[in-house]
Chains A and B, each alone.
Chain A
Amino acid sequence: MNPKYEQQMKKGVLEMLVLKLLSQDEKYGYQIIGELKNCSDGLFSMKEGTLYPILYRLEDDELVSSKWSEPKGKEISRKYYAITEKGNQVLSALNQLWFDFSNKVSSIMEEM
């Protein structure tokens, strides 16, 4: 199958998944990529070129905020992203939408 079909399907849920991961705790980009890959058993293997534009878009929409860490000693400075109050509200709405969406899609796929 052409990989772009799979990519298109995954594309629709990435914002929601990123918000979900951030709703647990603030995280930096490399961490988000790693956790998403582990949680999905490798299904969501996001590249930096995909993740960072999503994070910047979420930040522009005020759904997440960011700050650079103060490195201690030889520690590498990291940019942490945290979900905002508005982000939590949107996540909740997306969660509900996903529930309805996935149910409807599943019922169509089963019927036909």
Chain B
Amino acid sequence: MDQVTYINAIVKRLHCSNRKKADIRKELRSNIELALDNGESWEKVRKDMGAPADIAAEFNENFPQSERNAAKRRKRMQVAGVIVLALVVIVIAVYWMLPRSSVIHGTTFDEKTVIRQAEQIIEMINSNDYEGIRNQSNGSVKTVLTDQTISVAKEKLGSNLGNFKSYSSSYTCQIVQKGKKYAVAEITALYENRSVTYTITFDQGMMVAGLYMK
């Protein structure tokens, strides 16, 4: 173990203020250099001084309460600092992961294009053109939107919707989730026997990234 490592091993174990640590570090270095200058070998000096843990323990036992309080305060501040940093990281991660919505105007998406595309998807649902829907969907959604999945979803709306009549309302927004932007269209379609609200999500390539109907 060289001088610097030896002194560091003592100082890091001290329970006192940083100012006191700097003072002790300087004094120990001076002491060692004087001993070496006096012709003593580094091995002898280290042996005479003793183990870093023992030296530090002796210092700690004799520090006045003010130094111990300073050490405790520093430790509390360090712990508080780590907790604050962890909380900031968590908040940033949650903020990044949670979807955030905003009006579609002024975004990369064009509202009319989004609505038109959503209506096309609805028309495909109406005409059971499930392959057409899959061709308009992105990779992960494509595998989920099987004929069976879409059929089951339609059946849950009721056995007989009747013929499609018109669209009654539409709403669009942009959401950002995990750094990615999506356009969401919520369109209510009127049928002879009931209305159905479709929520269709598009990715930036205007491919379907989500489909929900109720």
Contacts and interface: CB of A to CB of B under 8 A. Distances in A.
A52 B59 contact: yes
B48 interface: yes
A79 to B, nearest CB: 5
Interface string B25-53: 01110110111011000000000111000
A76 interface: yes
Contact of A48 (B28, B38, B61): B28
Given A29-B27, A79-B27, A48 B49 contact: yes
Given A30-B31, A57-B64, A79-B27, A47 B59 contact: no
Contacts, number: 54
B54 interface: yes
B59 A53 contact: yes
B54 A49 contact: yes
B27 A52 contact: yes
Nearest to A48: B49
Given A47-B50, A49-B54, A54 B62 contact: yes
B30 A53 contact: no
A56 interface: yes
A76 B54 contact: no
Given A30-B35, A47-B50, A79 B30 contact: yes
A50 interface: yes
Contacts of A52: 24, 27, 59
B contact face: mostly helix, strand, loop, or mixed = helix
A65 B35 CA distance: 23
B13 to A, nearest CB: 11
Interface string A21-38: 000000011100000000
A78 interface: yes
Nearest to A79: B27
Interface of B: 20, 24, 26-28, 30-31, 33-35, 37-38, 48-50, 54-59, 61-64
24 contacts: A28-B30, A28-B34, A29-B30, A30-B30, A30-B31, A47-B48, A47-B49, A47-B58, A48-B31, A48-B49, A48-B55, A49-B54, A49-B55, A49-B57, A52-B24, A52-B27, A53-B61, A54-B62, A56-B62, A57-B62, A60-B64, A76-B30, A76-B33, A78-B34
Interface of A: 28-30, 47-50, 52-54, 56-57, 60, 68, 76-79
The 7 closest A-B pairs by CB, nearest first: A53-B62, A49-B55, A49-B58, A30-B34, A76-B33, A30-B31, A48-B49
